[in-house]
Structure 1
């Protein structure tokens, strides 16, 4: 049985956007879509029966709203759901670890593009062993596509670029492969970005030129490294157009800039042997907070 694309839903606008994005992704991957709403039991035993009945009712209503949104956008998707009891992070991590991809919503920052990432989403990202995609409220199908000739939103045009943040000094196969596959599924161009900052050393972000490099020789060297890392994946995915970019800039700044106008940003997250709290690295954290497009966080060891 194929592992599903899983969407965590809670009835909010951001979770409905996540469910719709997950449905489109399920269609691209030819996978079923599984909706999960996790609810906590009431802590007081004497009040638990009535309170839990109310929470189960709210859970079913949240799932129904998500199902309606999914059916309206992707009527042919194979759809299942569940409403497990228990701490939300634990339930969603369990569901994520059985998923092809987990999709969660994040609230858009008022007046900004970007995310206000809650503790549940951060907890899942920190602990999940499968890729987690965060989708902001208001994300629509047309946002993944290039504008029409007159500048209007359209779903009939090609997909916007998939952007890969890559650390040339320590490239991770899981992260690179996810990005290439995402580009292939969308028939989109892949932009692989590597950035380094002189004070901090190399860190990963990527287009076939060198941008904003004050030291041309070092820039050529990093671009050569990046091209070498990408070559094996170009051979594996010959239909994916790849642009490799090297920038001398703080990785967090370069990442936000590179993801502007993208359909998806792909970043890595190194799994800790013993995770303590919902922690992510600085580059991933910057992506989750400030990038406007959906962000795929791919775990690796």
Structure 2
């Protein structure tokens, strides 16, 4: 069965932005696009109210994916677009949908004034439990945000893409996560900026590292060399992708958020866990989800 790029729709500006981003990604991947609308059944007592009756409910649930599909087909005439309506708890349904997709795309509200995402409980639950990559897109995300622009130029899809940013833990590098980021950069014909944040091992005196410039420089060289070694085989697999290595002292999440300001996509990992309880996302990924100014792809891995 052919996988699809799938979007979770709820009629909000966030989900419409997600649908538009997903349409562009589907074109890059040469895959169909599926627009999925999930609604929770109205409790029986409420369903008897005139404004919440079955006919009204059906009208609105059908209208959301239909209108979204019409808009996407108009802007992307060569794209295969389908719609699907499902009922149930949105988080549970979307996790199931994600597992059958190449990737799932969801909208996420931008935080006013300071950028970043406001990730709701549904989005966090899907990210935490989906077995396939999930991408979160801001409501204000536009084509121009993904491309390099000159102050005097008019942004367009014809200009080069900004870099793809990958957050990488070199102590536990995962091939699937790295391959996802390299493939995303290759499709866009852009560079891959690999960001690694490090802190001194616990047996070093933190105060000493902070004040001893020679010691910090030596640790920085070691971390930079280790990052280069992790990426060495990937340079051979993706010779056309320019790799920009960035090994920084300090909290990885902060460095990734900074890098997101000049990125078309930020790729982070999430260690897969089988427990149905809790939101197992990790502190770095959690920080990036809430504060990145670029779309964020969360890739589950072993």
Query: Secondary structure of the residue that 2:18 maps to in structure 1?
Result: helix
Tell me the residue number matched to 2:209.
none
- What whole-Å deviation, never above 9, does each CA across 1:169-204 have from its counterpart, x for those lacking one? 000111101000000000010011110123779xxx
Unaligned runs of 5+ in 1: 202-211
Deviation, 1:288, is 0.7
SS for the counterpart of 2:38 is: coil
The reply to whether residue 262 of structure 1 matches residue 263 of structure 2 is yes
The answer as to 2:99 corresponding to 1:97 is yes
- 1:12-40 CA-to-partner distances (Å, cap 9, x unmatched) read 00100000000000000000000000001
Q: Is the 8 A contact 2:145 2:264 kept in 1?
A: yes
In structure 2, distance between residues paired with 1:52 and 1:98: 29
Point out the structure with max Rg over C-alpha. 2
3-state SS in 1 of match to 2:183: helix
CA distance in 1 between partners of 2:121 and 2:91 (Å): 9
Summarize the alignment of residues 206-225 of structure 1 with structure 2, pairs less than 5 Å apart: 215-225=216-226
CA contact (8 A) 2:273 2:280 kept: no
The answer on 1:300 being equivalent to 2:301 is yes
Report what 1:68 is aligned to.
Answer: 70
Q: After superposition, where does 1:155-166 map in structure 2 within 5 Å?
A: 155-166=157-168
String of CA shifts for 1:190-219, please: whole Å, max 9, x gaps: 011110123779xxxxxxxxxx99712111
Please show how residues 2-41 of structure 1 align to structure 2 within 5 Å.
2-41=2-41
The two structures have a TM-score, normalised by structure 2, of: 0.91
Alignment deviations for residues 140-181 of structure 1 (CA, whole Å, 9 cap, x no partner):
111111114624422221000000000000001111010000
Equivalences, count: 291
8 Å CA contact retained: 2:106, 2:134? yes
TM-score, normalised with respect to structure 1: 0.91
The answer for unaligned runs of 5 or more in structure 2 is: 204-212
Which residue of structure 2 lines up, in the alignment, with residue 128 of structure 1?
130
